[in-house]
Structure 1
């Protein structure tokens, strides 16, 4: 039986089918390639063109010119000046060591800077400029320029740097700038590209740091053509940035400089406020420091000297320092008692030299006592027993409430860092802070400005301005911005009974002008210009029973850091108040002997706008004042530009702001007061 077999397919048909499949596959591949090429050349062309441009063109930030700072009359306090610098490009220098040897014959290059330069060259591309020296004098800059042909790879540049023409006089208020450090970069988190620019400077203290956003300005842009290795070929375009806005402060430069000279390097501070506007005319913290050292790069030796100085020159004592206000606080206690109705103008208190509370005695500064005194006489003679009694009657909460209404215990809104809040203590505060109940003895201590009460010199000036005007005067330091003046603020009423304010003012007038006033020796003798004020002495240590039995050590016999602080607050003229002043001399002794004469001289300078007439001084001081005026003035450190270091060597990192002054208070705030003389 035969089997059926399919007919054979012709060979030509089999080849035709395979070719069709192959051609179909090839066509698909070609179509995919064509689609891909079209996508790359048409759809994605712009994207890849931009990527290519980015490889060829770099966009670099141009640092803006920093805004300048001026005083109320337009005198410059912080300016930008030319910075002559030298850089070196390794690929152009050839033998770097030989070039540095030749350069060192023209300008000084310390060994540590030479090591730094060589170290940076191993870390950066050969075409990147390495800083060699900055802040050159014009003579050094010209010398390097003249010898440029013999210095391959050396380039001289002119940039900008910050300069403070008045140096220590305004170091705490204006502050200074410095290079951005690693901590600041980390805190910024890359949000501000300007901070990434090498050697870019920002404000570190004072107005420079608090007004950084205003002073900095906006960066410009430069489009740079580079080759495949990143080397600059040419600048294609440039867009200049927006310079920072200028600031005008309320500070009176002439008055500020006079105050610093008058303090004579003591550890002290003075604040002067124009009562009508709240303008801070002077905010002086002595001793000062040279801010240009921080801009140029402070040496380790100078940095250590500032840190270890017992007078704490880095601290802005005027706003950051807090002290027991002593008897200057008695106006607060008096107003609190008058407002609460626990005393009246005619009521008197008998002072026999001490005030008994249980088995403890709180002493008056006058050991024999003052006898019977009313409010005006108690302020005039600064009787402690009088204020122990009325403080006990009115209570601490009412006293502290009045203190805050007058500005003590409230942080002033000022454009400088480390502004202290001070302390107006209450019962709740002590319970929260110490887990202890408030004691009557605490109230008696607060009644004479001791114990837990703390105030800064600026707060004391605000307190005085408010008492003098009857308005809630607020201090300010910025008078204008970007060439435009800011409107003068209108202070609201203080909401304290006008009669009570008048009684306190009369007491302050008596301090300066009554026959038994504690500051009578510092009164102003000019007709029609009367000074009103209050002396104060704050105790640094508690006087022991043994010392008291021995007659108490004289303040001047103690080591400097154990002496009492001297304070004074005042305003003038009495009938039409214009200026308020506060003075604190650390460990200066008595307020009447040390602080009051300084305040008197400062406020006379403000009133006359310059040297007051000799007749305004007490007769016994006129001859010495005349000799001072005819004597050639000693050169001031700020009159000459500080010697800038010739190189960019690393310097110790400066703090972001001055260390706040430690609170200076008695050893035991709750111990019975000793009654130090006002």
Structure 2
């Protein structure tokens, strides 16, 4: 009996201990749970509240308006305009193909368009709008709105697109914008926004970051699956800066239209004091608008395969032998080397060097000429003789001082440098020694000498104004929350004696305004507007001895691509130079017949408009300075 009681008491004690241990464990767990709840709800309350808000609120970037590009008088060259888009929300559409069929009767949709829409709908959530078509006309917008009951899930949205009022007349300078490519993604969130555009060429590319502006933000309340509920707040960004160019858009249009009479040509007009480019055109050109809207493969192939290269800005990237326009550099090099302006050479129509004969363009010769007479009549023999005396290296040194032989630093992408040969250059690039006959050929702007039309414009601007101007198309930047910037400032003096420049200027005056000058037929007869200039004809083929003996074939009797290039450089007014101009007509024949008449019209219009004397758009703070 006692043993049984003892056994029951032991069992009771064991149960009691176990109950106490179990109760203690439960209390411990409850305490830990309560502590954790306190920690989460009190200590970490702010952190989890913020995380919850982050899940509930999305912050979206708002693309800023792209900055405008204007000319020196404020005329818009690149602006933004409303872009009407038609959007489609797939969750609101019962039959997608039927809806697209109905919409296609209002807004034309290609098979590619429909495939793209299907792909985007599969890729995106069903409540996210998909862009069906952009750049709708007002008539199309109206028809979509009127038919909205029969177009479930279809809506109209308004965005912005880039517009170029001057089209192909300014595309080589202003450039264009297009969609961001993968290699252009730099981590900037702006670049990843759907439909965002960046500058791809010209000023649009050069000043892309200034033109982009600063993005705004929008706080959007969303549900658990990301559907937008409402907009909580919005902070608009800053529009891009306004880029003011040195161009006169009216003069630019005139120059482009004047060149358009030729299959292929280019020209540049500069301020001889500052290097501002007042007009620069290259024909043929291209329309920049399709690049913004989305260029088709066929359109791209047509542009790329066009033999006249409309995508190329020939004014800064076309390389040409300068022909006789280069003779002014030989004359200045001769003056610096001690050859006087009164140095005379008799021209019988040729010059012999060793067993080679070098011909003058005038078969019967010019007779006895001094320096100014040689420039006036463009006598090759005088320059053969003078170049032989001073050597190619002195000629090259002078030419480089005037901006030839290297890029001149214009603020546009795609500039090419050209070639001004020296003895060392030939040995390094061709691997052979310089020959005496090559000095003669290069002295008349043939042989290895290559320049761009803009370089020729810079050369004549420096010669006319006596200043080491650097050409540029950007006059300044305005707005965008930053101080205005002015970059067009006077240039330093050129390291050439004024007396030497005067001799060549007078000779160029004789070229145009003397009855026996090579460009007299293109003289400007308006008092005070007279121009001085120099003709040039650049051969693109070799004339054989047999052809010369039988009679050189006239340009008009040759296929277009075998005809000579026509060149002309000039400045005006003669008495007080302010404007400089260069014209190159591809395969145009002679400089006096093809290029000089164009230059006459351009310089007449330039002085009539007088863009420098007119009041340009004001810019204040002076930031930056030209370098010689």
**Fold conserved (TM > 0.5)?**
yes
Aligned: 1:290 with 2:257: no
- SS where residue 285 of structure 1 aligns? strand
Match of 1:391 in 2: 387
Match of 1:651 in 2: none
Match of 1:268 in 2: 265
Please give the per-residue CA displacement for 1:84-109, whole angstroms capped at 9, x wherever unaligned: 11011100112111111221222222
432, 450, 466: which one aligns with 1:470: 466
Match of 1:212 in 2: 208
Aligned: 1:323 with 2:316: no
Matches within 5 A, 1:129-528: 129-185=129-185, 188=186, 191-266=187-262, 267-341=264-338, 343-482=339-478, 484=484, 486=486, 488-528=488-528
Q: CA deviation at 1:59?
A: 1.1
2:62/2:236 contact within 8 Å kept: yes
2:529/2:607 contact within 8 Å kept: no
Q: CA deviation at 1:415?
A: 2.8
C-alpha distance 582-216 of structure 1, shift in aligned 2 (>3 A): same
1:265/1:287 contact within 8 Å kept: no
TM-score (norm 2): 0.90
2:567/2:591 contact within 8 Å kept: yes
2:410/2:470 contact within 8 Å kept: no
My pick for the range that moved more, 112-121 or 374-383, is 112-121
Please give the per-residue CA displacement for 1:637-676, whole angstroms capped at 9, x wherever unaligned: xxxxxxxxxxxxxxxxxxxxxxxxxxxxxxxxxxxxxxxx
Match of 1:649 in 2: none
2:476/2:488 contact within 8 Å kept: no
Match of 2:97 in 1: 97
Q: CA deviation at 1:53?
A: 2.2
C-alpha distance 23-356 of structure 1, shift in aligned 2 (>3 A): farther
Match of 2:591 in 1: 591
Q: CA deviation at 1:182?
A: 2.5
My pick for the range that moved more, 118-127 or 452-461, is 118-127
Q: CA deviation at 1:26?
A: 6.6
- SS where residue 144 of structure 1 aligns? helix
**How many corresponding residue pairs?**
598
C-alpha distance 58-561 of structure 1, shift in aligned 2 (>3 A): same
C-alpha distance 71-13 of structure 1, shift in aligned 2 (>3 A): same
2:350/2:360 contact within 8 Å kept: yes
My pick for the range that moved more, 191-200 or 114-123, is 114-123
Match of 2:565 in 1: 565
Match of 2:124 in 1: 124
Please give the per-residue CA displacement for 1:212-271, whole angstroms capped at 9, x wherever unaligned: 011110111111111111111111111101100111111111111111111125210010
Q: Distance in 2 between matches of 1:333 and 1:106?
A: 67
Match of 2:57 in 1: 57
- SS where residue 582 of structure 2 aligns? strand
Q: CA deviation at 1:427?
A: 2.5
Q: Distance in 1 between matches of 2:28 and 2:421?
A: 88
- SS where residue 82 of structure 1 aligns? strand
- Structure number with greater CO (CA < 8 Å, separation at least 6) is 1
Matches within 5 A, 1:60-99: 60-99=60-99
My pick for the range that moved more, 34-43 or 367-376, is 34-43
Q: CA deviation at 1:494?
A: 0.4
- SS where residue 270 of structure 2 aligns? strand
2:173/2:203 contact within 8 Å kept: yes
Q: CA deviation at 1:118?
A: 2.0
- SS where residue 451 of structure 1 aligns? coil
TM-score (norm 1): 0.84
Match of 2:621 in 1: none
C-alpha distance 33-361 of structure 1, shift in aligned 2 (>3 A): farther
1:328/1:535 contact within 8 Å kept: yes
C-alpha distance 396-12 of structure 1, shift in aligned 2 (>3 A): farther
Please give the per-residue CA displacement for 1:7-32, whole angstroms capped at 9, x wherever unaligned: xx988998898888878877766665
1:226/1:232 contact within 8 Å kept: yes
Specify every segment of 5 or more residues in structure 2 that has no aligned partner in the other structure, as ranges.
Answer: 1-8, 611-628
Q: What RMSD over aligned residues (CA atoms) do the two structures have, in Å?
A: 2.3
C-alpha distance 81-356 of structure 1, shift in aligned 2 (>3 A): same
Aligned: 1:110 with 2:110: yes
- SS where residue 170 of structure 2 aligns? helix
2:349/2:359 contact within 8 Å kept: yes
